[in-house]
Structures are given as C-alpha cells and as structure tokens.
Structure 1
C-alpha cells in the first residue's frame, strides 16, 4: 500500500455511508446501496483528480459486506479493518459523529498505509457457512430458553401433560430441533461442495473432542486455515495464548491470557477440551500431569485448548488425519 497518494475513510452504517478524503480534506454522505456506491466513486474521482486511491472502512458485518462486495466487483483496492484497532489508534476522542469517524478511519489508514494489506471478499461458500453457523447458534440458544421455561412450568402445574402452554412449548422445541438438524445438513452439503473445506473438515474430526460445530467454526474463523500463519497466532486471536506481565523489579505476574479475544471460539474450545480429556488418553494424561504440577483446573484446561489448536493446525498442514501415538508405543 506504499504507492497510494490518497486514502478514503468510510464510516458504514445501516442506511448511509460517510466518506472522507484524507489529503483533500473533503467529506460527503452517500446512501448505503449500489446507487450510493456509484456516486461515491464518481465523487472520489472528481475530488482526488485521478490520483491513486485506496479505501478503508471498519468491518461491521452485513452493512460493510455489501460495500466490500461492490468494491471487489470493480477491482478496487480496499482495506476492511478491525474497529478496535482503529479506535485504539485514535487516542482520546470526546466527540462522536459519522463524519468524525470517517475522518479517523482515513487518518488511521494513511498513517499505517505501509503496514496494511488489501482485503479480499470471502468465497460464497465461506460466507454461507458463517451465516448458517450464526443462525444455528441462535436457534440453539432459543431452544435452550424454551426448555428452561418448559421445565419451570412443569414444576408449577399439577397436570403439565395437558396444559396448553406446555404443549405449545413442546411443539416449538421439536420444530426448532428439526430446523437445527436441517441447518446442519446444509452445512454438510456446503462442505461437500468445496473440496478444500471438505478435506480440512475430515482432517479436523479425526481429533478427539472436535465435531461438526467446532470443526466448521475453526474452518470459518481461520479462513479455511489461510488467515493465520501458525497455531500460536490463532491462539492469540481466541484469547487462549498466555502473555507476560511485568515491569521493572516490582511487577512480575505469571503469564495470563488477555481478555481480548473471540469469546465464542474460546468457549467452543473449552467444551472441546473437556470432551477430549474424557476420550483422548494422551490429553487426559497431559491434563492430569498439569494438575500434578500444581496448576489449577482452568489453567490446565487452557493448556489442553492450545494442544487442540496445535493439533488442528498440524493435521491440516500435514494433510493426514491425527494418529494416536500411544497405541503404537512398545
């Protein structure tokens, strides 16, 4: 990104986008649709007088995805950055407006232009996989809430089998179970249609503790294992990597995981670790050894989480399923 002479920072909201040209110090608001994107490009071309320009905006989910898809279709260079990175680089900001946000995004992109890498749109199968995983997660949470409500009603009522409320809840629970199963079948179809994702999925489920959901989440969050250079980088992303915390001679704490991380992925890895400890003899011995060393349970489970991440990256890099070495030991 070194050869660009101008950057356009874009603050994306549901209905509008605010664009700010950093060098020209010009601002304008557009509608967040195809017509607005075309007007944006015309305005930038007129304002910057044809110099090399790249665009930068925050990743805001579906709202920014529409813009990313359009810029990608026009072969325009853009950077989709984490909102947290931009916020922390802005210093103390007391005011909050869409124009100011666009200006701060443009400032960030210009200052860090030599370090930024152009973004690319994920494949259609990858995007659909992410949407289905999110929908499945929402249905599972809703179903858990309905089950809790049904359990409470059964305690309060003398005849729960004939109560209209209980019957309605049971039908809703059964229906959502069918929907969850249907989504899981569609997820399997997506994996089957993509050879690379299908191969990595088969490799991942060869690990004890990793099933359909965890394997698919790993594929989605790692960009099918292309987004992170190694397992340690992904561990840091999940919030399971320990970091040092010391200063001078007075502050010297033990290594701890940073609070910033993908909580959903961390939670799934925790459940996968508990399952792996129960069904994988090697990880069970490893976990018990950590406890014998005096580590508390959560720290030992975090060690198992990192073991699972390391194994996942290893089987994908090697291209062969995981083999339990103990069964071949003399």
Structure 2
C-alpha cells in the first residue's frame, strides 16, 4: 500500500487497550490505553497523511487519548449512529477489531466534520459541570422525597442530606469559577452569557 495515500483511522477504545484500523491501508494494530501506548500510537500514525481519526465517546477512557491526538484531525462519533452504519453495511459480528474497522470506514464514507480536541482545562470544566448537574438532580430527588415524610427523624435526615448537597454544589461552583477565570476565552464567553437582558443593546 502506498503510504502517501491519506488514511482514515478508526479506534475502538476500551479501558485497557486501543484497537486501531487504518483505511484504505488495511493495517491494524493494538496499543495500550496508557500514556506510553498513546505515544506509540502517534508514532505509528506518523507514517501516513491522516485524513480523519474516528472514535466513539467513552467517558473517562477516551479523554487522555483525545489530548494525545490533539494535533491530529479527530472526529468523535455517536455510538448509536456507528451501530446503524454497521447494520447497514451488513456487519453483525462485534469485536474490538471489527468496531475499529467500522469506525474507519464510516468516517471515510460520511466524512463527518473535524472538530478541535478540547483542552485539558475544558475537559476539567466539562467534568465539573456534569458533576454539578448530577448534584442538582440528587437535590431535586431528595426534595421530592421529603414532601411525603411524616416522621421527624426522617425529616431531619433529609434536611441533613439537602444541606450536604448544597455544600457540595457550592464547592463545585467555586471550582467552576476558578476554571473559567483561568481561561481568557471562557471568561469572555461567561461574561457575554451573564449579561442581564436589560443591558443587552437593542437594535
């Protein structure tokens, strides 16, 4: 295979390993999902011109890899959409190597837009916001449960839980504020979003 041909690469990400397939070269390789493995992957990819690197969002498992590939054209694919593509292609079997192949061929066929990888600071902010959303859901659930309580002991316990959740939300809010303040672009965006309606210039 001519190494000058642009390659579309699919990566199936698991906790321990990365199964990688390059299309149309047909080369496949497995790397450890570790810092060392990420460096070896980047070196291996260096033999080609890369058109796209496709992978599915896998939460914590893909975040460090995303940072390692920050200088390469990456696309994060929706897992449900990838499954539909595999079904349409007649691929019913499921292994990590097959998944990597499907991701590569899907990206080569559909050519989804390449988006820049998020920075470590943005990844931290996203994790904090997700944690805050979870705490808010917990608070609403506890508040709803408290409406039906009649026993003083249970009422006190629920109040204690609500107070604890409120403290945790305040701590997360403080950390979010620190993260935003440390990033000029995020600070500017936050300032724009935070402008009251009464202060927005009218046309």
Could you state the TM-score of these two structures normalised by the residue count of structure 2? 0.79
More deviation, 10-19/120-129: 120-129
More deviation, 62-71/123-132: 123-132
Separation in 1, partners of 2:115, 2:73:
6
Separation in 1, partners of 2:157, 2:14:
39
Separation in 1, partners of 2:117, 2:169:
27
Q: Deviation per CA, 1:29-77: give whole Å up to 9, x if none.
A: 33211232234345556xxxx33245322233322221111123xx4x2
| Residue of structure 1 equivalent to 2:62 | 64
Separation in 1, partners of 2:19, 2:59:
17
Q: Are the structure 2 counterparts of residues 39 and 195 from structure 1 closer, same or farther at C-alpha, using a change threshold of 3 Å? A: closer
Considering Cα pairs closer than 8 Å and 6+ residues apart, tell me whether 1 or 2 has the greater RCO. 2
> Residue 195 of structure 1 is aligned with which of 167, 176, 184?
184
Separation in 2, partners of 1:176, 1:89:
42
The alignment partner of 1:17 has SS state of strand
| Residue of structure 2 equivalent to 1:38 | 39
> Residue 148 of structure 2 is aligned with which of 152, 160, 165?
152
1:105-116 aligned at under 5 Å gives the runs 105-112=103-110, 115-116=111-112
Q: Does 1:167 align with 2:156?
A: yes
User: Displacement, 1:101?
Assistant: 1.0
| Residue of structure 2 equivalent to 1:80 | 75
Q: Deviation per CA, 1:81-132: give whole Å up to 9, x if none.
A: 22255444442542222211100111123334xx455442223332222111
Runs of 4+ in 1 over 3 A off after TM superposition: 38-45, 84-90, 115-119
Instruction: Give the conservation status (yes or no) of the 8 Å contact 1:7–1:110.
Output: yes
Separation in 2, partners of 1:51, 1:149:
58
Separation in 2, partners of 1:35, 1:182:
34
| Residue of structure 2 equivalent to 1:51 | 48
Separation in 2, partners of 1:198, 1:42:
36
Instruction: Give the conservation status (yes or no) of the 8 Å contact 2:54–2:103.
Output: yes
The alignment partner of 2:163 has SS state of helix
Instruction: Give the conservation status (yes or no) of the 8 Å contact 2:180–2:187.
Output: yes
Separation in 2, partners of 1:197, 1:53:
30
Gaps of 5+ in 1: 209-279, 281-320, 326-330
Instruction: Give the conservation status (yes or no) of the 8 Å contact 1:56–1:105.
Output: yes
More deviation, 4-13/126-135: 4-13
Task: Supply the RMSD in Å over aligned alpha carbons.
Answer: 2.8
Could you state the TM-score of these two structures normalised by the residue count of structure 1? 0.52
| Residue of structure 1 equivalent to 2:94 | 96
User: Displacement, 1:24?
Assistant: 3.3
Q: Deviation per CA, 1:194-220: give whole Å up to 9, x if none.
A: 333323322223344xxxxxxxxxxxx
The alignment partner of 2:118 has SS state of coil
Separation in 2, partners of 1:127, 1:43:
26
| Residue of structure 1 equivalent to 2:200 | 322
Separation in 2, partners of 1:43, 1:192:
38
Number of corresponding residues: 196
The alignment partner of 2:20 has SS state of strand
